[in-house]
Amino acid sequence: MSERNIDPSTHGITKMPRHVAIIMDGNGRWARQRGWLRLKGHQEGARAVKRTLELSYKLGVRHLTLFAFSAQNWSRPKPEVQGLMALLGEYLRTEQAELMRRGIRFRTIGDVTKLPENLQREILDLQQRTASNDRMDLIVALSYGGREDLVHAARAVAADAIAGRIKVEDIDIEAISARLYTADIPDPDLMIRTSGEMRISNFMLWQLAYSELYITEVLWPDFSEDDYIDALRVFGGRERRFGLTGEQVGGGGERER
């Protein structure tokens, strides 16, 4: 991973998102089209992760969230799940030095207690080692679901209400947001989904309320730097109104949240 040295404007990017979230879809389809096992698609997808992280770093994206393994993915065939866990462990080990060298903080969202214990230890170790890094956040959604995230927050609110730490009438948007897995992470400005599927698949249901959505037919293993730049260009041309009119936000300006 080379130094951060790309001016977004040189690629026609007029406005950079602070937080990009990606549903990395199409690994299995990519492998099937070539007559290979699905795991081969996931292995190639890991290379796309590295490309995307590198370009995000160079361009100055502050937070990159990758939907790596959903709460529902546990129902997939056992060999595929085991292969995915092995790939994750390999990534944690091989990329640690680069994350440290570049000042990238590694974080996870989701119920990681369901992962194998050795992976839980490796995740915790990498989180602790990179905790003070402040150039960029790499956030990996593992055993994550948007509905499950909301249940997690609802339970936390209920527990605090029972304990008298919060009054029922004080439960508002901020109270829920503060108890999500993403409590101290800004909502995504841009959500990219590869493979052309027109759904968000239980991903960050609360947090995507005002995110710009970009859907591409490109399968994740083929997602290139040019594909990513195209998505960022499109984002730069969007008018984000957050429920207001175009006139209220200045005919193309972006209102602060």
- Which two three-digit tokens encode residue 243? 């429920």
pLDDT the model gives residue 243: 74
C-alpha angle with apex 79: 77 to 108, nearest 5 degrees?
85
pLDDT the model gives residue 241: 74
pLDDT the model gives residue 240: 78
pLDDT the model gives residue 257: 40
Q: What 3 state SS string does 152-169 have?
A: HHHHHHHHHHHCCCCCHH
Per-residue pLDDT tens for 202-230?
A: 999 999 999 999 999 999 999 999 999 99
Q: What is the mean pLDDT of residues 91-117?
A: 97
Residue 5: pLDDT band (50, 70, 90) is confident
pLDDT above 60: residue 255: no
pTM of the model: 0.93
**Taking a C-beta distance cutoff of 8 angstroms, is the pair 21, 188 a contact?**
yes
Homologous superfamily of domain range 15-236: Decaprenyl diphosphate synthase-like (3.40.1180.10)
* Domain regions of the chain by residue span: 15-236
Write out the DSSP string of 172-237: -HHHHHTTSTTTTSPPPSEEEE-TT--S-TTSSTTTTTT-EEEE-SS-GGG--HHHHHHHHHHHHT
Per-residue pLDDT tens for 8-45?
A: 999 999 999 999 999 999 999 999 999 999 999 999 99
Per-residue pLDDT tens for 133-189?
A: 999 999 999 999 999 999 999 999 999 999 999 999 999 999 999 999 999 999 999
Q: What is the mean pLDDT of residues 106-132?
A: 98
Per-residue pLDDT tens for 79-102?
A: 999 999 999 999 999 999 999 999
- Which two three-digit tokens encode residue 167? 């009054």
Residues forming the active site: 25, 73
